[in-house]
Amino acid sequence: MSKSESAPFAYDGLDRVIHEKARLGVLTSLMAHPKGLAFGDLKQLCGLTDGNLSRHLQVLQEAGFVEIIKGYEGNRPHTSCRLSASGRRRFLDYLGVLEQLVRDAAKAAGKDAPDTELKILPT
């Protein structure tokens, strides 16, 4: 018997690096901007302070989810970041587990399950 059969509500696929609330926002923002985002724009989209965003980006970079590009815009330092290919893939895996959790809970709550699926699968 596999773990998912014996412990159907364990949700082992919920990677802790991704699951942290602020990092979920960062990854979703970067997913929406595949060419990358300037540090300041990302900060605003996620409602984070400079310090918090820096800390979370470091965790995501060390785990290989994002690439941070430090350069110049004119004479001023300019930092931007983007999702890596493997980061995108792993985030999609995570979203598939999250989608399953929402379905399980909706079913448990006696709500109608949707007719169609979001079809979040690794590409």
Chain residues in the site for a copy of itself (CB under 8 A): 3, 6-12, 14, 16, 19, 21, 24-29, 31-32, 44-48, 88, 91-92, 95, 98-99, 101-109, 111-120
Burial (CB count within 10 angstroms: exposed 0-12, middle 13-18, buried 19+), residue 38: middle
Burial (CB count within 10 angstroms: exposed 0-12, middle 13-18, buried 19+), residue 16: exposed
How near is the Cβ of 84 to a copy of itself at its closest, in Å?
14
How near is the Cβ of 62 to a copy of itself at its closest, in Å?
20
Concatenated DSSP letters of 24-43: HHHHHHHHH-TT-EEHHHHH
How near is the Cβ of 104 to a copy of itself at its closest, in Å?
5
C-alpha 90/C-alpha 68 separation (Å) is 18
Q: Closer to a copy of itself at the Cβ: 73 or 86?
A: 86
Q: Closer to a copy of itself at the Cβ: 69 or 106?
A: 106
Count how many residues are written for the chain. Answer: 123
Residue 10, phi then psi, degrees to nearest 5: -85, -30
How near is the Cβ of 72 to a copy of itself at its closest, in Å?
27
Q: Closer to a copy of itself at the Cβ: 10 or 69?
A: 10
Q: Closer to a copy of itself at the Cβ: 27 or 81?
A: 27
